[in-house]
Amino acid sequence: MIKEILLPDLGEGIDSAEVSDVFVSPGKTIKVDDIILVLESEKASMEIPAEIEGKVKKVLIAPGSNVTAGQCLITVETTGKKTFKQKVKEKREPSRPATIAAVDPKKQRKVKQDRDGTFASPGVRRLSRELKIDLQTIKGTGPKGRVTKEDIHSFIRNKMEGFGGRPYRPGPEIDFSQWGKIATQKLTKIKGIVARRMQQSWQTIPHVTQFDEADITDLRAHRQKLNKDAGTKKQKVTFLPFFMKTVAELLKEMPTFNSSLDYKGENLIFKHYFNIGFAVDTPAGLMVPVVRDVDQKNIIEISTELQDLSQRARDKKLKPSELKGGTFTISSLGGIGGTFFTPIIDPPQVAILGISESWWEKVYDHKNKTTRPRYILPFSLSYDHRVIDGAAAARFTSRYAEMLASADNCK
């Protein structure tokens, strides 16, 4: 026997509603209380359950279609046998024709605002539960900010494509060999990972870069003395340990630069540890190992650790844990060259220092009216403008220059 399931009166003055999800298809066997579809109206979302069992013959609606009370939704081939529920119901309501009463409006589960303050249909809630997605983190595009199934899909798409950005599309395939000889090289795994992280950072963080210079003449002299005193027994101490130690001290003074935005983008998390990551140029690609608790270590300890970590980065012998937990990063190109550059932030950090190669310069001393040769370090600070204001960034670089010039952090 073929029976029609009709849309019942939706109540609350709702004349029509939009189908947001359909859970049945021709040939599917349904039981009493199985959810056939989810409707979204201006006022509420509701699941429509079946009150007869059988095999679905035709589905007359689709997601996006508008339905009105009394409209046929699906047809079902029933066995003709009555379920216990139906027999009880017919006893109670003998005059009600079974085909029209296939769906009981009282059974519609309306969902308005949930306890978490979000609007979503039961189907969407179920989907978010299955995918372990917190609906509060999704911006709903439905009426009154309701989270729709499409919102969940685009949230996942964005996550997969780099947290909010569009994936890198190199464009149409070009045959470069038409203009001359070519060679193709597969990107290393590390280069692939770095490319994704950099793209994600560049697309999701509003970067601003502040440039500055520091007089490191005294620091240079101190480094020279340190290396001379150590003789040939120890490995040479470069400038980088001083830059790391100084920045750790500065991060204590200006904790926002050592913070992270939480996953909702609503709170700042301040870290009371100072783990400084540093970029290492390796044949396989860029790696950023982390020196932990830099503020608690002396220059020799930091130097030993960074030399060990950079060697093992180049030998591909770093443990995954040695690449994690950084709170701030320094990218130093000082040993290679260049004046200034704009480093890309390593999320979830909020700032990164880019160090370039120092130069000698004649600096006019206004007080003594003399000109003296000074060793000048050019550096840049890229920062997340959602978290750090321009004034704070300028204060940070000025203070950093001041601290390096006084060479207080040389111990």
Q: List, in sequence order, every residue forming a beta bridge with 285; answer none if it has no partner.
A: 282
Footprint of ligand CAO on residues 354-393 (CB under 6 A)? 355, 357-358, 377
Footprint of ligand CAO on residues 340-359 (CB under 6 A)? 343, 355, 357-358
Q: What is the DSSP string of 270-290?
A: E-SS--EEE-EEETTEEE--E
**Residue 98 interacts with ligand CAO (CB under 6 A): yes or no:** no
**Residue 61 interacts with ligand CAO (CB under 6 A): yes or no:** no
In the complex, what is the shortest distance from the CB of residue 297 to ligand CAO, in angstroms, rounded to a whole number? 15
**Residue 335 interacts with ligand CAO (CB under 6 A): yes or no:** yes
Distances, alpha carbon 299 to alpha carbons 6, 234, 275, 346, in Å: 78, 13, 15, 24
Phi, psi of 214 (to 5 degrees): -130, 140
In the complex, what is the shortest distance from the CB of residue 348 to ligand CAO, in angstroms, rounded to a whole number? 17
For ligand CAO, the closer of residues 11 and 285 by Cβ is 285
For ligand CAO, the closer of residues 146 and 220 by Cβ is 220
- Residues touching ligand CAO, count (CB under 6 A): 20
Residue 222 annotated in active site: no
In the complex, what is the shortest distance from the CB of residue 220 to ligand CAO, in angstroms, rounded to a whole number? 8
Cα separation, 311 vs 313, whole angstroms: 5
Q: Which residue's structure tokens are 């630069």?
A: 257
Q: Sketch the per residue contact string, 232 through 261, with ligand CAO: x for CB under 6 A, - otherwise.
A: ----x-xxx---------------------
Long-range contacts of 157-161 (CB under 8 A, 24+ apart): none
Q: Which stretch binds ligand CAO (CB under 6 A): 52-60, 279-287, 291-299, 398-406?
A: 279-287
The DSSP letter of residue 3 is E
Binding test (CB under 6 A) with ligand CAO, winner from 210, 334, 374, 407 = 334
Best CA proximity match to 118, nearest among 89, 95, 140: 140
**Residue 77 interacts with ligand CAO (CB under 6 A): yes or no:** no
**Residue 123 interacts with ligand CAO (CB under 6 A): yes or no:** no
- The two three-digit tokens of residue 351, written as one number: 């700032």
**Residue 286 interacts with ligand CAO (CB under 6 A): yes or no:** yes
Distances, alpha carbon 269 to alpha carbons 203, 273, 325, 384, in Å: 22, 12, 13, 14
Distance of CA 317 to the CA centre of its chain: 28
In the complex, what is the shortest distance from the CB of residue 131 to ligand CAO, in angstroms, rounded to a whole number? 34
- At residue 361, the 3 state secondary structure works out as strand
Best CA proximity match to 38, nearest among 57, 65, 75: 65
Catalytic residues: 385
Residues that bind ligand CAO in the complex, under the rule CB under 6 A: 236, 238-240, 278-281, 286, 310, 331-335, 343, 355, 357-358, 377
